Every structure is written in structure tokens, then in C-alpha cells.
């Protein structure tokens, strides 16, 4: 079945450093979504990417969807302590499929 792999599992950075998490699917995706989960909280939607090669920005966050629609990345520039949490990607294989979540990347930021 469809699998979504996400790396790294953990990332520890100094405040001000950049951070990137990568997501790879075993099959072509119709879209990909990104979620953030703060410690002790629930996942919160960040963004959805649909088009091949799409790039979207939200302040210091940059999201990319690969040309083949099988991979995606989230890059945070100049991390802040408020960026702490676990970032999940979630891909949808078909036009009417369930979202398949990656295992997440847990980000910690040292002040």
C-alpha cells in the first residue's frame, strides 16, 4: 500500500538556525498537506500543496511539492522557540483517498 516516509525523525537546532524536513511517497500524490503539533497538543493544518513543483511561503516557512508529486519539504528559516513541535506531512494518493501521514519530525530549538 501507499507509504509516506518522513525524515529526519528528530532535529535539534540552535535558535536562529534553519530547519528542513523531507517527505517521500512510494506513489504519486494528488496533494500533500502539512500539519504542526505542539507538545501536548493536537495536529493543526498548515498548508496544502496540489500542483507539481508548487512552492508556497508562510512567513519563515517554505513548502515545496516535487515535480513528480512524490516528495515534499518544509523549510523553516531562522528558527524560533515558538517553532518547537512535531511537523507531519500527509499525502493523498487518489482524488478520493484517505490521507496517509508520515511519522513526523520532532523539532526542538535551543534558545
Partner 1 sequence: NAGVTQTPKFQVLKTGQSMTLQCAQDMNHEYMSWYRQDPGMGLRLIHYSVGAGITDQGEVPNGYNVSRSTTEDFPLRLLSAAPSQTSVYFCASSYSMSSGSSNEQFFGPGTRLTVL
Please give the residue ranges that form the binding site for partner 1 (CB under 8 A): 6, 9, 30-31, 33, 35, 41-45, 48, 50, 88, 90, 92, 94-99, 101-104
Minimal distance, residue 85 CB to partner 1, in Å: 13
DSSP string, 28-97: --SEEEEEEE-TTS--EEEEEE-STT-EEEETTEEEEE-TTSSEEEEEESS--GGG-EEEEEEEESSTT-
Measured CA to CA in angstroms, residue 88 lies from 31, 77, 100 at distances of 14, 18, 10
Looking at beta carbons only, is 17 or 47 nearer to partner 1?
Answer: 47
Minimal distance, residue 89 CB to partner 1, in Å: 10
Give CA–CA dist 47/1, Å, rounded.
25
Looking at beta carbons only, is 30 or 80 nearer to partner 1?
Answer: 30
Minimal distance, residue 39 CB to partner 1, in Å: 12
Minimal distance, residue 84 CB to partner 1, in Å: 17
Count of CB atoms within 10 A of residue 10's CB?
11
Looking at beta carbons only, is 45 or 58 nearer to partner 1?
Answer: 45
Looking at beta carbons only, is 52 or 80 nearer to partner 1?
Answer: 52
Amino acid at each position: 500500500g501507499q507509504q509516506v516516509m518522513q525524515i529526519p525523525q528528530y532535529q535539534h537546532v540552535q535558535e536562529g538556525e534553519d530547519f528542513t524536513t523531507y517527505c517521500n511517497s512510494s506513489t504519486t500524490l494528488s496533494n500533500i498537506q502539512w500539519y504542526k503539533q505542539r507538545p501536548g497538543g493536537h495536529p493543526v493544518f498548515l498548508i496544502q500543496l496540489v500542483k507539481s513543483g508548487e512552492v508556497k511561503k508562510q512567513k519563515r516557512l517554505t513548502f515545496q511539492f516535487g515535480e513528480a508529486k512524490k516528495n515534499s519539504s518544509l523549510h523553516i528559516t531562522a528558527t524560533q522557540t515558538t517553532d518547537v513541535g512535531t511537523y507531519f506531512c500527509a499525502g493523498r494518493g487518489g482524488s478520493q483517498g484517505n490521507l496517509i501521514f508520515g511519522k513526523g519530525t520532532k523539532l526542538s530549538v535551543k534558545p
